[in-house]
Amino acid sequence: MISALEKSVTGARWVPARNLHLTMAFLGRVQDERIAPLSTAIGQAVQDHVDFIVRLGELGAFPDARRARVIWAGLDDPTGGLAGLADSIADSLEPLGFPRETRAFQPHVTLARIRSPKPIELTVTSTPLAFRVERISLFESHLRRPAPVYDELTTFPFRR
């Protein structure tokens, strides 16, 4: 799917495969001394969740396909597992001073960024892909060129 898009959308910076991810909560800059309480809160947030299946969904663009700045692949969440998990995480982080996101949770994976907004065509067909979500991870990001580097700090497996 990405290789077909790369041919049809020029001028985009494509996310390297190793960096593809779903952001459950963006925390911004976090001081080192806050990592332990943050990890504890996230661990408590996921302890009652069990694994679930999500499917690769439709392609989209932010803010829209007529003025695209970001190209993304949506994730279909038929059981509501991702939405419930995002809500639990937001509940656990709010007492630590991380404000709840005001926009509705829209599970997606960013595929590319476009420097200047432009219209794009998103008519690529792909093979349906489903996968099991069994855990989440806390990452530290380092802004580098040509792409950020993500270091996994902790993994939080779901209840079995």
**CATH number for the domain that contains residue 128:** 3.90.1140.10
pLDDT (average), residues 46-75? 94
> Closest Cα partner for 37 from 152, 135, 136, 138?
138
Per-residue pLDDT for 2 more than 80?
no
pLDDT-based confidence at residue 110 (cuts at 50, 70, 90): very high
This prediction's pTM: 0.88
pLDDT by residue (tens digit) across 115-159? Answer: 899 999 887 666 778 999 999 999 999 888 888 889 999 999 998
CA distances from 32 to 35, 93, 141 (A): 6, 16, 13
Least confident of 42-46, 84-88, 99-103: 99-103
The answer to whether the beta carbons of residues 12 and 143 sit under 8 Å apart is no
Per-residue pLDDT for 1 more than 70?
no
Predicted pLDDT of residue 34: 95
pLDDT (average), residues 30-55? 95
Predicted pLDDT of residue 112: 94
Distance CA 48, CA 40 (A): 14
pLDDT (average), residues 72-96? 96
Range of the domain at 66: 2-157
Domain count, the chain: 1
Predicted pLDDT of residue 67: 95
Predicted pLDDT of residue 143: 85
Distance CA 150, CA 139 (A): 6
